[in-house]
Amino acid sequence: MPTASATTRRARPPRGPLSIFMVEDEPLVQDSLRVVLGGFLGAEVVGSAHSETEAISWLQAHDDAWRLAVVDLFLQQGTGLGVLSWLAPMKNGRTVIALTNAATRANRAQCLQLGADAVFDKSEEINEFLSFCESRSMGLPAAQPPATSRATGRV
């Protein structure tokens, strides 16, 4: 039986609790999200980064450790857009969400174009964000639309 080479191997999302990788440069926001995602979903934040470079390095080293990535757009170094762009060809059925305070129509469109499955405003759409994460933790397909059209930028 043939085996896949390292270059053709596809990441397999881990089984069990929803494993989340978080790109967020504000420690208080990162801590709050850990508590809420863990308590509400039983999810586990398996890694986090404060910058674009740190995020990409972690993702390269832990390709098969996460099922959902939460990416802020404004970071200490680089941008979440750079992370989204890097992640696009690496998703392999996993979910990528942009969670930002800058959820303008233009930013939403750009995030979706770069491969985000949904975009949420941190201050106004946290309940929709949690509902979307919950649907992923239950194994619903990534094509399942979020509860509100604002999350996707669709009108």
Token digits for 62? 């832990």
pLDDT of residue 136: 86
The pLDDT, as a whole number, for residue 148 is 41
Which helix (H) or strand (E) covers residue 64, if one does?
A: none
* Architecture of the domain spanning 19-141: 3-Layer(aba) Sandwich (3.40)
What's the pTM? Answer: 0.81
Distance CA 109, CA 44 (A): 29
Tens digit of each residue's pLDDT, the chain (155 residues) = 433 333 333 444 445 689 999 999 999 999 999 999 999 899 999 999 999 999 999 999 999 999 999 999 999 999 999 999 999 999 998 999 999 999 999 999 999 999 999 999 999 999 999 999 999 888 765 444 444 445 444 43
pLDDT (0 to 100) of residue 17: 86
Tokens of 25: 């440069």
Rounded-to-integer distance, Cα 68 and Cα 72, Å: 13
Q: How far apart are CA 2 and CA 100, in angstroms?
A: 44
